[in-house]
Amino acid sequence: MFGLFKERVPGSPTDTIKAGVKDVITLFHSPSSPASIRVHTLLKQTAAAAQTTATQDQASSHPQQSKIERTNFELDVQEGAPTSDQLTNIFEYLGQDKIGSVIEGASSPTEALRKLKESGSAFQRPLVVDWANGRAVTGDNESEILKLLNSPPKA
């Protein structure tokens, strides 16, 4: 009988289930690259701020709540190169003209996969990927990364 009434705790696992699954944002990272370190720091700070905002939104009502934007995401940091399937998706997200910014010296998906197999160092980091919404950003352009993170999810 007493189990029928449960207090809802913001940020609890049941709250996460109600809110839906968090989008996964992957950072392909090189700890020895200053640009990659800057992007990693930016993503960690943004994830922490989003979590704080989400918790505040659950506890209060204000106009910002109605603004549609991503309030929470899971950061996945990978130091290795993407798989060939991931790379194919990344090329689709970025467009053919950006292949050379992902794999140094490549101008086609086939050439990019070949160069990556020959040398993992051909893969350019940092690279931020929003898998759920089909978006990616190469390099450390902070405004483009924030735009990727703050844009509303695709319907």
pLDDT tens digits, residue range 39-53?
Answer: 999 999 998 887 665
Residue 153 near residue 52 (C-beta atoms within 8 A): no
pTM of whole model > 0.85?
A: no
Asked whether the predicted pLDDT for residue 9 surpasses 80, the reply is no
Give the least confident one: 23-32, 62-71, 146-155: 62-71
Dist. CA 88–CA 59, nearest whole Å: 41
How much of the chain is helix, strand and coil, in % rounded to 5? 50, 15, 35
Class of domain 23-58+70-150: alpha beta
pLDDT at 20: 61
Asked whether the predicted pLDDT for residue 34 surpasses 50, the reply is yes
Q: Tens digits of per-residue pLDDT, 110-133?
A: 999 999 999 989 999 999 999 999
